[in-house]
Structures are given as structure tokens and as C-alpha cells.
């Protein structure tokens, strides 16, 4: 799938803000990765506003029908907020309800674990990444407990690499287990296409190709 303008802009923005870095990074899995994207570094008002626009573009591009956006605690909370703000503005002008969960159940005030709009109908989950899929499975449980329906998941990046247990990625496993699409603002393929276009990442691109050959799906 050819890279789109908003995806190119996202990669450039991530590089400028040192959110996307090239080099040698040891992942939790023990793999040595030639790149790393840390969405937690979108940590100012301006960068959060901008990332919301990229998520909104990806929501629109995904074609996933949804009634509400859900941001899993904790990282998904600001991402869901900034996405619905961006969706409410031009060119989308779509006023979308959103909610998020508390990690601890509240027994006073309004009580419960859900904050924001009622969790009902078709739910689009927004998060930063899917590594092992654990957080998404927790979200699915919350959605089912509220008698709502998982419509799909949107993350910032799809690393397109196999999990520990075989030939599928964590994203592919979530798609298989829950029968819903999992989309990303960008994939590893998009990042590599961007690097090829620029022509200034020759050595890093070689390492990316070796890594994909070894762990790619």
C-alpha cells in the first residue's frame, strides 16, 4: 500500500520530535531493532494536538464504522481525547463520543470504571502500539462487560513483525481472535518507503531490510 501524505507527514513529525529514531534499540523481546517509535514523547500541547490530527486522518482512512472512541488507561486516554477533538473540526466535522476506563473502580461520586460517554454501540479502540496484545484483550473485556461491540483498533505504528510464538504479529493475532480490523497510522513498510524516498537513510535502510527479512510478517 503506497504511503499517503498524512502518513509521510506523521513520519517527518515523529523524526523531528525524536519520537521515531534510527539506531540500535533492544526491545522487550530481546530483539535488536534498527528503529524505535516512542509515542509517549508526544508530551506537549502542540505535539498532542498534531498527533490527534494524524489519528483522525487514520480513523477517516480506515473506514471502520463506529459509534464511540475508547482510550484504554493510561496511554490511550490523551490519544482518544485529541483524536475526537480533531474529528470534530474541519474537514471531518464529526462530533464523536469518547470514553476511557479507570484502572481502579470508584465507589463514590458517579462510581464505576468508565469515564466520559456511555460505552455502547460499536467501539473503536485507540492506543499507541500493540506489542503482546494484553492491553487490547483487557479493553475487549471492558467493552463486552458493557454489552458494547468491538468495531476495530487503531494504533500509531504496526511494526509488522512476528510475535514470540510463531509466524503472526501481535496485530494479526488480535485480528484473528476478535474478527475485527486493526489499523495503524503507519507501518514499518511506510517508514521504509519514506526512507527510500528521502535517499539519506541508506545505511539505516539496509539494517531495516535485514531486520524485516528476519522478523517480518
Catalytic residue (choose from 106, 183, 190, 198): 106
The Cα 215–Cα 213 span in angstroms is 6
Cβ-based neighbour number of residue 89 at 10 Å: 12
The Cα 140–Cα 103 span in angstroms is 15
Strand partners, 101: 114
Active site residue 190: no
DSSP 73-91: TTTHHHHHHHHHHHHHSTT
Q: Looking at beta carbons, which pairs linking 98-103 to residues 24 or more positions away fall under 8 Å?
A: 98/68, 98/69, 98/70, 98/71, 99/68, 99/69, 99/70, 99/71, 100/70, 100/71, 100/72, 100/73, 100/76, 101/70, 101/72, 101/73, 101/139, 101/142, 102/73, 103/73, 103/74
The Cα 33–Cα 74 span in angstroms is 25
Catalytic residue (choose from 103, 105, 108, 164): 108
Q: Quick one: which of 102, 168, 158 has its CA closest to 130?
A: 158
Q: Are 22 and 201 in contact (CB under 8 A)?
A: yes
Active site residue 183: no
Provide the annotated active-site residues.
Answer: 106, 108
Amino acid at each position: 500500500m503506497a504511503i499517503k501524505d498524512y502518513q509521510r507527514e506523521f513520519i517527518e513529525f515523529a523524526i523531528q520530535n525524536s519520537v521515531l529514531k534510527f539506531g540500535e534499540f533492544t526491545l522487550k523481546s530481546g530483539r535488536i531493532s534498527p528503529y524505535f517509535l516512542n509515542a509517549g514523547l508526544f508530551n506537549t500541547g502542540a505535539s498532542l494536538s498534531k498527533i490527534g490530527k494524524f489519528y483522525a486522518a487514520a480513523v477517516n482512512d480506515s473506514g471502520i464504522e463506529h459509534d464511540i472512541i475508547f482510550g484504554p488507561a493510561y496511554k490511550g486516554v490523551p490519544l482518544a481525547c485529541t483524536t475526537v477533538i480533531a474529528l470534530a473540526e474541519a474537514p471531518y466535522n464529526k462530533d464523536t463520543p469518547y470514553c476511557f476506563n479507570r484502572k481502579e473502580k470508584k465507589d463514590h461520586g458517579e462510581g464505576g470504571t468508565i469515564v466520559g460517554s456511555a460505552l455502547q454501540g460499536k467501539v473503536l479502540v485507540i492506543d499507541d502500539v500493540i506489542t503482546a496484545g494484553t492491553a487490547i484483550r483487557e479493553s475487549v473485556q471492558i467493552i463486552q462487560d458493557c454489552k458494547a461491540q468491538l468495531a476495530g483498533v487503531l494504533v500509531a505504528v504496526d511494526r509488522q513483525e512476528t510475535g514470540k510464538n510463531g509466524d503472526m504479529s501481535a496485530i494479526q493475532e488480535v485480528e484473528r481472535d476478535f474478527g475485527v480490523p486493526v489499523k495503524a497510522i503507519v507501518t514499518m513498510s511506510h517508514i521504509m518507503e519514506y526512507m527510500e524516498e528521502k535517499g539519506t537513510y541508506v545505511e539505516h535502510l539496509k539494517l531495516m531490510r535485514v531486520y524485516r527479512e528476519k522478523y517480518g510478517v
